[in-house]
Structure formats: structure tokens, C-alpha cells
Amino acid sequence: MAQAKEGDKVVVHYTGMLESGEVFDSSMCTEDECGCDSGPLEFTIGMNEIIPGFEKGVIGMSPGESKTVNIPVEEAYGHRNDQLIGVVERSQIPSDMTPEVGMRFDVTQEDGQEFPVVVTEVTDTHVTLDANHPLAGRNLIFDIQLLEIG
């Protein structure tokens, strides 16, 4: 039976969990269940389209096989980086936006490149923005089912 290897296009179902068991994403849920509706994930092994630990977990699997993969921080979204946290004056926030803790939006750099941030603190004069990936600094667990190798 064929086994997934570098260069193969694969299709998988997955459920991603934190070490606490809390599910943060799943290809098998509906929008009503968790706010997502992604369906199976399709990617090419070795093209760096997904986090390294997930990709390593799929290598060697055969269609129909399922397994659980524990992914350490280094093979997931990396450690949190304090340099990606910044405090801006509230006047720099668009006037039509009322910043609230937990709010997510994209910031455009001077070179035109956009990146997502989350508001982590709001005062009368300043807003703290965090550009770390929400799962940075966390070990992850994925239940993976290989559906097909293309």
C-alpha cells in the first residue's frame, strides 16, 4: 500500500487540540459547531504549506490510516516573540474602530505588507498589539486521518 512521502499531494482530515484537550480547529466540524467549515486539508509534503510537525506526522501514513501526533512548540508555530508585541498611541488606530481586548485585525506596514494582530490591552491613551500567532508558544496535538495520496 502506498505511503505518503515528500513531494506527494495529500488530503487529510484533522482535529487540532491544545494539551488541555481543547479543540482549536477541525476539518470535520461544521460552521454551526465551531465557526469553521473548512473540509479536508490538501497540501503537498515538502512545500512548507503547513507547520513542520504536522507534515512530519503525515509522512509514512497510508490512505485510510489515522493517528495522533504530538507537535512540540518548535515544530508548530514557534515560541512567542516579545518583539512582536507593540504599544501604539490610541490616535494611531482608525477613528472608525473601537479597540477592544481580543479584537483581531490586519496592520499594514510602510512597505504595504499586511500582518494580523490581536489587541491585548486598551487604555485611554494606548493600545497594545500582539502579532504572534495565536498558537505560538504551545505544544499541539493533532488527530490526523489520511484520506488520499494524489
Q: What is the largest CA-CA distance in the chain?
A: 63
Domain assignment present for 21: yes
pLDDT at 37: 54
CATH number at residue 41: 3.10.50.40
Q: Residue 2: inside a domain, yes or no? A: no
pLDDT of residue 30: 56
For residue 98, being part of any structural domain is answered with: yes
What is the three-class DSSP state of 31? helix
pLDDT in tens, the chain (150 residues): 799 999 999 999 999 999 999 999 999 865 555 555 568 999 999 999 999 999 999 999 999 999 999 999 999 999 999 999 999 999 988 889 999 999 999 988 889 899 899 999 999 999 999 999 999 999 999 999 999 998
- 4 found inside a domain: no
Clarify whether residues 124 and 58 are in a common domain. no
Residue 99 lies in a domain: yes
Q: Can you give the pLDDT at residue 109?
A: 84
Across 93-131, b (16+ Cβ under 10 Å) vs e yields beeeeebeeeeeeeeeeeeeeeeebbbeebeeeebbbbe
**Number of domains observed in the structure of the chain:** 2
Domain that holds residue 49: 9-78+135-149
At residue 94, the pLDDT reads 85
Same domain? 53 vs 96:
no
pLDDT reported for residue 9 = 97
pTM: 0.82
Q: Are residues 73 and 92 both part of a single domain? A: no
Q: Which pLDDT does position 29 carry in this prediction? A: 66
pLDDT at 108 (0 to 100): 87
Predicted local confidence at residue 99, as pLDDT: 94
Q: From CA 77, how far away is CA 71, in angstroms rounded?
A: 10
Report the b/e string of 65-85 with b at 16+ CB within 10 A. eeeebebebebbbeeeeeeee
